[in-house]
Amino acid sequence: MGEDRSLAASTSEWGAELRRPPRENDRWVLDWLVQTTGRVYHFQKANGRTLPATVRTHAMISKHLGLAAGKAEMLAKDAMEAGAAETAKHHFFTASNTYAAAQHVIFETNEEKQFLHEGAMRCYAAYASLTSPEIRHVLIPFEGTSLGAYLHLADVPSPAPCVVALPGCDMTKEMYPGPGANHAAQRGMHMLVLDGPGQGEANLRDLKLTSTNYARAVSAAIDVVSRLPEVDERRIGVYGMSFSSQWAMAAAAHDDRIRAAAAPLFSGCDKYYLMNVEGPRWRWLFMYLTGAASEDELNEIMRGMRLDDLLPGVRCPCLWAVGEYDARSPVREVLRLFDLMTNDRELWIFADQHHQVNVADGRGVPVWGSDINMYSFDWLEAHLDAAPGSSSGRRIRYLQPGEGPYSRAARTPWPWYRRFSQEGAQEEGFEEEGYEEAAPVASKLGALPSDGSTGALP
């Protein structure tokens, strides 16, 4: 009788016949969190469920979100047949967004993932056809292949500023911006939303993410938009939310055509935090996005994403926003990186928040609807309209609950306990005009390693 090899796994105990993903032993914890919170990630948010109530494990997400997406697509088609175009548009976007979320949790390019991704693109094309101003699907030539993108044109006189927007690592270009939330167009700017290497269309073309190729992809996108008659090539900005803040900053160091870079939900710290402190799915995800064949290969790729050597070369104005308790972005490490730059730069630290920061109450708000997008595009608009070099300085705001970047009532030093010390009381108001402190905040927070590192991937 032949040996039953169905339980074989790549450990010394079971043999090497079946490849196991990294941190597989943590899967049961992830399944418990999915079941109890109804969320795929960012479990700290008190938002309630984002997944159907039928989902009890991570493995169930793609099926049950896919079923929900199919129902939304049918509602859209029914509305179209009834002549209710605006209602159809709403349902088509919901269907596209849900298909995209469903495919994202599948960490291989298989038949199910292709089916769900095609659904996302199909429904988004229907949504775009009902939307004004125009949304164009464009292909960006890139290193022998092409990248998919959507160009969202604003109804403004040409030429106008353009923002190249980079979705986070858990998003595709179909997921931002949402209906009525095109923050670029509302401020008189065009926007190109890109599926870079390892995202959306690029995944299905087997164009994997490397340590450095996303910055080159942003430059390729700028090559395309800068030639458009609608775009003022002198006023091109980059917007990178969540993990794409990493890519936005790498691009700003790489391409001096970028006039301003906004990076909310900042994720540019050492990838040790994301790979080891956050949940196990991030390792599974990046094994797929990079095509890494082993943990050693993945670690090497992620080490190559460190921004330490790039940030001193950033010359354009930059905005970062981070939650005080974001596990992937410890504030001390954020401040250390922030002070590697000498450009005009601004940092918003949101007290008591985690990764998905909001100015107002963000409960029940999808990522595309978060008000941090509005404030970030305010900042981009101001800096793309300003003459180069018209502003300078180092600005930090430690925003308490109920405060926003425009609030002037409270001036709280970071960390929180310094408000009770004589030194902290003297420094309250460090966000006032001029924004210069006598010494970098990070230097006052205690000793860091002499090489400035915070640890390496094991």
Give the confidence band of 128 by pLDDT, cuts at 50, 70, 90. Answer: very high
Q: Average pLDDT over the chain, rounded to whole?
A: 83
Give the confidence band of 355 by pLDDT, cuts at 50, 70, 90. Answer: confident
User: pLDDT by residue (tens digit) across 420-452?
Assistant: 765 554 544 444 333 333 233 333 223 333 333
CA 199 to CA 408: how far, in whole Å? 40
User: pLDDT by residue (tens digit) across 394-413?
Assistant: 999 999 988 999 987 557 77
pTM: 0.83
Give me the residue label for tokens 């991570």: 58
Measuring CA to CA, how many Å separate 264 from each of 165, 244, 321?
Answer: 12, 9, 4
**Pure H helices in 137-212:** 200-204
Alpha-carbon Rg for the chain in angstroms: 22
pLDDT at residue 365, rounded to an integer: 63
Residue 39 has pLDDT above 50, yes or no: yes
Contact 62, 102 (CB under 8 A): yes
Q: Which class in CATH covers the domain with range 39-131?
A: mainly alpha
- Give me the residues paired with residue 147 across strands: 140
CA 284 to CA 303: how far, in whole Å? 16
CA 26 to CA 277: how far, in whole Å? 12
For the record, the structure tokens of 326 come out as 């974001």
Residues 6+ apart with CB under 8 A from 133: 152, 153, 154, 155, 185
**In the CATH scheme, what is the code of domain 135-270+306-443?**
3.40.50.1820
Contact 290, 198 (CB under 8 A): yes
- CB atoms near residue 44 (< 10 Å): 16
User: pLDDT by residue (tens digit) across 41-88?
Assistant: 554 555 566 666 777 787 888 999 999 999 999 999 999 999 999 999
pLDDT at residue 125, rounded to an integer: 97
Give the confidence band of 388 by pLDDT, cuts at 50, 70, 90. Answer: confident
Of 329, 330, 347, whose CA–CA distance to 338 is shortest? 347
Domain spans in the chain, listed from the N-terminal domain onward: 39-131, 135-270+306-443
Give me the residue label for tokens 């769900």: 116
Give the confidence band of 275 by pLDDT, cuts at 50, 70, 90. Answer: confident
**Pure H helices in 339-440:** 371-385, 422-427
